[in-house]
Amino acid sequence: MDSFSGISVFIQAVEAGSFIRAAERLHLTRWAVGKSIARLEERLGVRLFQRNTRSQSLTAEGRAYYERCLRALEELESAQALVGDGQREPAGQVRISTPVLFGRLCVAPVLVELARRWPQLDIVASFTDRRVDLIAEGVDLVLRSGPMPDTSDLVARRMGAQTMMLYASPDYLAQHGRPRHFKDLARHHGILYGKTSGWPIRDETGEVRIATVSSRLRFDDLEAIADATVAGAGLAHLPCWLIRDHLKAGRLVKLMPEASFATIDMHLAWPLTRHLPLRVRTVIDALAAALPPLLRVDRRKITAAAAR
């Protein structure tokens, strides 16, 4: 039992970021936390932390031990779930990483509803466009755009495909005309993302080419591009989930029905384990129910609307 006690203190020290904060969480003194870690290091024969007066960080051995301890705790929780009566509510912490804009607009509302429904569920969401290493960073779930790497360490569930299309405001089209063919785009103004020079679009011959447009506006934020497009500043290449409300309100119009627009698969992924904790499975099920309809596109409606 002393061994397991030392492990729980160690995990809290890692996740809290300091012995002082770990002591506060565990209702112990800083001295007691430090002593517990020292005993664990002595028993293992390795240093788990690099410590000085200002900071602490895990050693390579400490990081490896932490990851194994997390997996062991997951197995214990799964075992409890298996022998339970099936009436338990999801409880405990779930850490999820999601792209910034999609996460804020599409994922966050689902997480808020989960927290409202399950009072014992503790959700920690990180909104970042950085590619997160689930295992190394102790993340339970990650939402990723693009192809998933071929790895035996992860399980991935496809949420759907993010579709990118061309849009313009009615005011812009009234002033500059409507592009109906790939070659028409050269005489239009575009609002570009970051350092991109144009948009990948399939031309009339079926070849995917970069459509170049003149541009005096470049933003590294898709929401800012959508707002500028609504204001009539030019054409933009945007994901369908972002401009859904603008389309319904008539503020934006889809363009070029003959073009074959790019799609980017989106997956929800988690570390491979024999038994998923109930808390993680609950979040997966909620996102799997909510996200596919947001990503789904009816191409028949697209063609009809863009042809008008």
Q: Mind listing the pLDDT tens digit for each residue in 134-164?
A: 877 888 999 998 877 766 678 889 999 888 8
User: Is 60 exceeded by the pLDDT of residue 181?
Assistant: yes
Is the pTM here over 0.85, yes or no? no
Read out DSSP for 175-195?
A: HH----SGGGGGGSEEEEETT
Residues near 12 by beta carbon (within 8 Å), at least 6 away in sequence? 22, 25, 26, 33
Query: Strand (E) positions, the chain?
Result: 49-51, 56-58, 92-98, 121-127, 141-145, 154-168, 189-193, 198-202, 208-212, 214-219, 236-239, 253-254, 263-271
DSSP SS3 for 88: coil
**What residues pair up with 141 in beta bridges, in sequence order?**
96
Phi, psi of 305 (to 5 degrees): -70, -40
Determine what percent of the chain is predicted with pLDDT higher than 70: 86
Q: Mind listing the pLDDT tens digit for each residue in 67-89?
A: 888 777 766 766 665 555 455 78
Within 13 A of 196's CA, how many CA atoms are on the CB side? 20
Are the C-beta atoms of residues 232 and 130 closer than 8 Å to each other? no
DSSP for residue 250: T
Average pLDDT over residues 217-227: 94
Average pLDDT value over all residues in the chain? 84
User: Is 90 exceeded by the pLDDT of residue 55?
Assistant: no
Which is more confident, 101 or 182?
Answer: 101
User: Is 80 exceeded by the pLDDT of residue 40?
Assistant: yes
Which residue, 281, 275, 283, is CA-closest to 77? Answer: 275
Cβ atoms within 10 A of the Cβ of 28, count? 17
Q: Mind listing the pLDDT tens digit for each residue in 226-272?
A: 999 999 999 999 998 999 899 999 999 999 865 567 778 899 999 88
Segment 106-110 long-range contacts (CB within 8 Å, at least 24 positions apart)? 106/241, 106/290, 106/291, 106/294, 107/143, 107/287, 107/291, 109/290, 110/286, 110/287, 110/290, 110/291
